[in-house]
Amino acid sequence: MPPDEQSFPSVWTRPHPQRREQPALNREQIVAAALELLDAEGIDALSMRKLGTRLNAGATSMYTHVANKDELIELVVDEVYGEIEAPATNDPEGWRAAITGCAHSMRATLLRHPWIVSVLGEAGLAYLGPNMSRLQEAMLAVFEEGSFTLQAANQATNTLMAYIIGISTSEAAWLTTLARSGRSEQEWADRLWPTALQAVEAYPRLRSLYAVQRAQSLSDARDDDFDIGLECVLNGVVARLAHHAAP
């Protein structure tokens, strides 16, 4: 089906091409090479031409499997979601621990591939991908085991993912800046500290916060902030959706 005839332009709505002969290049190879390129050089480095050069493949063989860069991003995003540990429990009392473990796995995965946060809002119908669907199905099942109705489980899942993606976006941007600088997190903080102090001189509450943060490991502080925020989100989900819980 030509791209302009698709109702929903997405790799997940386009029929997978069938070829009689064994192709020299397959979709899995293209996705793997794109992921390597993105992890090494970032989103700005990704182009179909550069990827073709990396694979030593011509445009014809590439476009047989991936119609354009947008489809490629959908595929690579779903590949990354395949690395996230899906929650599972057969214990109704264990739903929270299972969801917490999944949240930590998701954050760790996004930070391993920091470029991904810049495309999540542009990844088309990425939520139709098999890995994304698998993850969402597992999260819904665990919330249901915790006595949420399916609708409440969906609301809880959406809220949780919004929190994880939101906080990971800020972290990924910070870690990308560090990587480009060639400095460690502590080295960056030491260089920035005098400027930061001057900037908050007129703001006593910020001065107090900065003083406390100055004595902390930045990495540990980010972990603590994530854990505290996650606990608040889960507490809020329980409080807000409790009346939707199944009897």
**Dihedral angle computed from the Cα positions of residues 224, 229, 232 and 233, in that order, rounded to the nearest 10 degrees:** -140
Q: What dotted CATH number matches 3-80?
A: 1.10.10.60
Per-residue pLDDT at 175? 86
Per-residue pLDDT at 125? 66
- The per-residue pLDDT for range 109-118, each reduced to its tens digit, is 999 999 988 8
What's phi and psi for 183, nearest 5 deg?
A: -105, 160
Tokens of 26: 């397959």
- Residue pair 207/80 in contact by the 8 Å Cβ criterion: no
Q: DSSP labels for 120-184?
A: GGG-TTGGGSHHHHHHHHHHHHHHHHTTB-HHHHHHHHHHHHHHHHHHHHHHHHHHHHHHHHT--
Average pLDDT, the chain: 85
| Nearest to 87, CA basis, from 106, 109, 102 | 102
Residue type, 174: W
The model's confidence at residue 21, banded by pLDDT at 50, 70 and 90, is very low
Helix (H, G, I), strand (E, B) or coil at 66: coil
pLDDT over 90 (residue 153):
yes
The model's confidence at residue 123, banded by pLDDT at 50, 70 and 90, is low
- Residue pair 96/234 in contact by the 8 Å Cβ criterion: yes
pLDDT over 80 (residue 108):
yes
The model's confidence at residue 212, banded by pLDDT at 50, 70 and 90, is confident
The model's confidence at residue 100, banded by pLDDT at 50, 70 and 90, is very high
User: Among 1.20.1260.10, 1.10.1050.10, 3.40.50.1580, 1.10.357.10, what is the CATH number of 83-182+216-244?
Assistant: 1.10.357.10
pLDDT over 90 (residue 122):
no
For the residues 135-139, what does the mean pLDDT come to? Answer: 95
Q: Give domain limits for the chain.
A: 3-80, 83-182+216-244
Residues 6 or more apart whose CB falls under 8 angstroms from that of 30 comprise 51, 55, 62, 65, 66, 72, 75
pLDDT over 50 (residue 1):
no
Separation of first and last alpha carbons in the chain? 48
In angstroms, rounded to a whole number, what is the distance separating the alpha carbons of residues 127 and 133?
6
For the residues 153-180, what does the mean pLDDT come to? Answer: 91
- The per-residue pLDDT for range 40-92, each reduced to its tens digit, is 998 888 888 888 888 887 666 777 788 888 888 989 999 999 999 999 888 88
The model's confidence at residue 22, banded by pLDDT at 50, 70 and 90, is very low
Classify residue 121 by burial, with Cβ atoms within 10 Å: 0-12, 13-18, 19+: exposed
Tell me the pTM: 0.83
